[in-house]
Amino acid sequence: MSIEEKVGQMFMPDFRQWNGKNVCEINEEIVQVIQQHHIGGVILFRENLVDTEQTVRLVDQLQRAAGSIPLLLSTDQEGGVVNRLQSGTVMPGNMALGATGSTESCHRVGQAIGAELHALGININFAPVVDVNVNPDNPVIGVRSFGSDPQLVSDLGVSYIQGLHDAGVAATAKHFPGHGDTAVDSHLGLPSVPYDRSRLDEVELKPFQTAINAGVDLIMTAHVTFPAIDSSMLISRLDNTPIYVPATLSAPVLTGLIRNTLGFEGVVVTDSLQMKAITDHFGPEDTVIRAVQAGTDIILMPSDLNRAYQAMLAAVKNGDIPETTIDKSVTRILALKLKLGVVEINNGKLQPGMGSRNTCRCGTD
């Protein structure tokens, strides 16, 4: 693979709207964006997923546009208040499942959600949320959490993950290292979790370690500062004041904690880089370079895809990002694609696998 192709594998943009209209099928301009940037994945939203037949067509169009290395196709089908499939089954949310305390029910919900996604050709679910919701003023997690007990969150999170895996869909533990004890929505501002490391180990990190031990495929980062883990500061472009480095851009968090301490060997994906916790303080070029230097593998929803892609490509070519770093990330991404059957190896070469083709029988070609 060329440098351009390897860098492209690390990008997962969204195509929710194009020229003011919801994207329910792709046009030639979107095809060119995917091919020119060698995109490795796409995240799908409710605007994209109107009904079953249309979703199957869209997934097929996206995979055809990708060419020889098919896409990771993701969505946030958590259940409860966060559902992207307009034609999907609305399953109980995490807090409802937490109220039952039933690992069996949680497994069945994960498996059912996974079965619907798999039938449509969507291979990654950005779920479950394993944040421990210990702050009653939390405006963004709340009922998306299994509860306030770290052990309960750990047990139910693993059951949900296993359910997705049984359906052939990759699972994501989010939002690392924990978004449950914040009073600020990172879509709107930059939250902070001020506690010391011993408290983080007991509460926030416990469900993530349990998920890692259970073989979770991806971990999604939080746009939250954790001064006890990383006390370094950067200058915000919003008002030129110093701010703590958010977890998404922090090497002590993404490499030191996720990789070296918790032993995670899977794929690290950023939360959306279009959220104000990031865009208020960092430009699109600076954001992606810092995120990759910190240890992320997949850049989710850059605020400006072309500027971010070109900046990252230049950073690799000038040595600001070692090519070995890119190689490690792309190896993890391709390993996930192999696991999911998105690609397969034939005579030493990557080619589309059965997992990149739709299995839904919806009357479409």
Instruction: Kindly report the number of other CB atoms within 10 A of residue 76's CB atom.
Output: 21
> How many Å apart are CA 306 and CA 325, to the nearest integer?
21
187 is catalytic: yes
How many CA atoms within 13 Å lie on the side-chain side of 47?
11
Q: Given 155, 181, 271, 297, which residue is catalytic?
A: 271
Residue 245 DSSP one-character state:
P
The pairing of strands 11-12 and 299-300 is parallel
d(CA 294, CA 249): 6
Tokens of 272: 């959306």
Of the candidates 60, 166, 187, 280, the residue annotated as catalytic is 187
Report the Cα–Cα distance between both ends of the chain, in Å, rounded. 31
In 3D space, the residue among 273, 165, 143 whose CA is nearest the CA of residue 211 turns out to be: 165
User: How distant is the alpha carbon of residue 113 from its chain centre?
Assistant: 17
DSSP 274-343: TSHHHHTT--HHHHHHHHHHHT-SBEES-SSHHHHHHHHHHHHHTTSS-HHHHHHHHHHHHHHHHHHTSE
Q: Give me the residue label for tokens 């030129």.
A: 240
Query: What angle separates helix 150-166 from helix 206-213, to the nearest 10 degrees?
Result: 30
Bridge partners, residue 345, by sequence: 350
The radius of gyration computed from the CA coordinates of the chain, to the nearest angstrom, equals 19
**Residue 128 phi, psi dihedral angles, 5° rounding:** -90, 155
- Which residues pair with residue 170 across a beta bridge? 124
339 alpha-carbon distance from chain centroid: 17
Active-site annotation, residues? 187, 271
